Chain A
């Protein structure tokens, strides 16, 4: 699993940090999402999926494995 965030769409709600604090943080000055790891460990997959669902700006995606390979 690879995580992609769009900082331009992000509205700094922080829902992702509440849901998966190991994967997401916010910039101090404006709260925009910061990705702590692009490829979180397997046991965090459900949390990241939940964060993508709850993001009110739809600024988080999970790239599936096959898509990653296609992009390479």
Chain B
């Protein structure tokens, strides 16, 4: 194996490259990225970069010296446009082709947009340039609407609110972050935003954006009301960046379909946000848009490419920072899981909780409780029996507000 190409030069692609070199593989390595910037970190984009607490330079993942030490042929600002599996070639936008013996796909995801949203004042957030453009817009003191109250949307709303701006968070589900955390934790996140002065409009979809002369002026909701806005941030999810793989023969279905070893085809692997694979620990197929997974899966995919033959079966980890609150989680959180508080008290802003599904613990969550949560990770690793998980604190209450009637029935364990 003389030539390896990695498509995608963000956290996963960079880690894959470093893993190959770190393990002594000294063949010809090509690292291809569609953005002209050197690899940078994304979690700060919706947090410190927006608020200005951290400069763009500090988001860079490696110094020029460290990148040079990879001894890779770096092709930045050159999107891959097609993959020829039979002839082992990646086609680049400039018409060039890159030959390979083995390939790692790490092209990430692309933000979804609402229809007819190509307007001044409308933003998405995926890249560093997106974040800098949004920050510049926020510095003008606009009225802000964030559409979508998942992790990205709630973080952007918190950042804008922290900057002192009037912010409204609009979400079709009855509570924020309902996927993956469910109604009760979602209600706590809603309260967190209200306490900090962010307005919430949950349970109402967006009908369309309003505009004048190509500039967004507001958001019209499904109930007919219109909220005025100068800046609208669309945080309505993302799609795996697999357009360039259409017609390649690789199986594509919510990402690049891989086996338990992150392998999409002989000699072709995928890692990070774009990869869908079978996680044997949970006996389920998954695709994760988590920072930690990008690194872990890249290490695993590169290792398997070199012959490890080890299934990638991690306990997923992810976190979100909003205002002064840090929510962290290990595992998976099926929609019909039960929830039990293990320690602390949701009403005073510090607790841990476990999620049970089909008789075992599948996830644990910490709310401002990092150290304790880490010790609970073993419940997920060991698939602890749900019957052995005891409650020491009260379960988070359901939201007692207008969102309540929209909450669909779901199993809430012993406290339902």
CA distance A56 to B43 in the complex (A): 9
Q: A residues within 8 A CB of B117?
A: none
Q: B residues within 8 A CB of A26?
A: 370-371, 374
Contact A13 B292, CB 8 Å, known A53-B299, A57-B43 = yes
B19 to chain A, nearest CB (A): 8
Q: B residues within 8 A CB of A5?
A: none
Contacting pair B370 A12 (CB below 8 A): yes
Q: A residues within 8 A CB of B296?
A: 54
Contacting pair B374 A54 (CB below 8 A): no
The answer, among A9, A31, A54, for a CB contact under 8 Å with B370, is A31
Contacting pair B15 A58 (CB below 8 A): no
Does B373 lie at the interface of the complex (its beta carbon under 8 Å from any beta carbon of A)? yes
Count chain A CB atoms within 10 A of each CB in B43, B369, B374 and give the residue with the most. B374
Contact A18 B377, CB 8 Å, known A12-B328, A53-B18, A56-B291 = yes
Contact A12 B326, CB 8 Å, known A53-B15, A56-B295 = yes
Contacting pair A53 B370 (CB below 8 A): no
A1-21 Cβ-contact flags toward B at 8 Å (1 or 0)? 000000001011111011000
Contacting pair A15 B18 (CB below 8 A): no
Q: A residues within 8 A CB of B58?
A: 9
Contact A54 B371, CB 8 Å, known A11-B43, A11-B319, A13-B317 = no
Q: A residues within 8 A CB of B370?
A: 12-14, 26, 30-31
Q: B residues within 8 A CB of A17?
A: 374
Count chain B CB atoms within 10 A of each CB in A30, A49, A58 and give the residue with the most. A58
Does B321 lie at the interface of the complex (its beta carbon under 8 Å from any beta carbon of A)? yes
Does B34 lie at the interface of the complex (its beta carbon under 8 Å from any beta carbon of A)? no
Interface residues on B, range: 20 to 34
Kindly identify, within residues 358 to 414 of chain B, every residue whose CB is under 8 Å from any CB belonging to chain A.
Answer: 368-371, 373-374, 377
CA distance A11 to B292 in the complex (A): 12
Does B41 lie at the interface of the complex (its beta carbon under 8 Å from any beta carbon of A)? yes
Contacting pair B371 A28 (CB below 8 A): yes
Does B76 lie at the interface of the complex (its beta carbon under 8 Å from any beta carbon of A)? no
Q: Which residue of B lies closest to A9 (CB)?
A: B58
CA distance A27 to B321 in the complex (A): 17
The answer, among A13, A28, A30, A49, for a CB contact under 8 Å with B319, is A13
Contact A58 B292, CB 8 Å, known A12-B370, A18-B377 = no
B40-52 Cβ-contact flags toward A at 8 Å (1 or 0)? 0101000000000
Q: A residues within 8 A CB of B292?
A: 13, 15, 54, 56
Q: Which residue of B lies closest to A17 (CB)?
A: B374
Q: B residues within 8 A CB of A53?
A: 15, 18-19, 295, 299
Contact A54 B295, CB 8 Å, known A12-B328, A28-B371, A31-B371 = yes
Contact A14 B321, CB 8 Å, known A54-B295, A56-B291, A56-B292 = no
B1-45 Cβ-contact flags toward A at 8 Å (1 or 0)? 000000000000001001100100000000000000000010100
Does B61 lie at the interface of the complex (its beta carbon under 8 Å from any beta carbon of A)? yes
B272 to chain A, nearest CB (A): 13
A43-65 Cβ-contact flags toward B at 8 Å (1 or 0)? 00000010001101110000000
CA distance A57 to B292 in the complex (A): 9
Q: Which residue of B lies closest to A54 (CB)?
A: B295
A28 to chain B, nearest CB (A): 6
Contact A58 B317, CB 8 Å, known A13-B328, A14-B373 = no
Q: A-contacting residues of B (Cβ < 8 Å)?
A: 15, 18-19, 22, 41, 43, 58, 61, 291-292, 295-296, 299, 317, 319, 321, 326, 328, 368-371, 373-374, 377
Task: List 25 A–B pairs whose Cβ atoms lie within 8 Å, in order of A's numbering.
Answer: A9-B58, A11-B326, A12-B326, A12-B371, A13-B370, A14-B370, A14-B371, A14-B374, A15-B292, A17-B374, A18-B377, A26-B370, A28-B371, A30-B326, A30-B368, A31-B326, A31-B371, A49-B22, A53-B15, A53-B295, A54-B296, A54-B299, A56-B292, A56-B319, A57-B41
